[in-house]
Amino acid sequence: MSLPHLHGQPCGRVVEVENAERAVELVREVLPFFRVGKPLMKPGGIDVPVLYLNFAVDRLHYDPERKIPLPKGCPGSSRPVRVEGIKEEVERILKEVQVLPAAEFREPENCWVVPVAWRSFVVLHVRVSADGKEIAPDYGLTEEIRRHGM
């Protein structure tokens, strides 16, 4: 007797450990080339786009009062703040982050997601193609920053 699946169907793709390892290594290789976009003031806080080759890879939530990134899932407060200096602070933060040695597979997007951490916070999720060979842009965020002329 087989047990029912609790959430959806099992992954229909053949995922290879080597592709996940390749994805992690790729993010390590390109991390020094990430750059910081213009901060986005959001109702829930400040998001700072992280770019690679003029495409957004993810948004970093930022706490301007403490001058630190916030973990994924914690967008911050909506208090009014000055954006001067935020870009420079996030550039400093990007020099301190590290790629975690693991990847998650997201079947709907057909990609790996590699977590990047600052201290004990996961602050970025970098998408990589299923074969582990290419960084996958965050197209929605890329479009958002282009709409705002950034």
Q: Where are the domains of the chain?
A: 25-148
How high is the pLDDT of residue 6? 40
Q: What three-state secondary structure class fits 30?
A: helix
Q: 23-36 burial by CB neighbour count: b if 16+ within 10 A, else e?
A: bbebbeebbeebeb
| 78 touches 62 (CB < 8 A) | no
Cα–Cα distance list, 109 to 40, 52, 104 (Å): 25, 19, 11
Q: Could you tell me the pTM of the whole model?
A: 0.87
Is 8 or 140 the better-scoring residue by pLDDT?
140
Q: Could you tell me which of 142, 107, 112, 145 has the C-alpha nearest to residue 12?
A: 107
Question: Do residues 37 and 149 make contact, with C-beta atoms less than 8 angstroms apart?
Answer: no
pLDDT in the model for residue 102: 98
Q: What is the pLDDT of residues 103-114, one digit of tens each?
A: 999 998 999 999
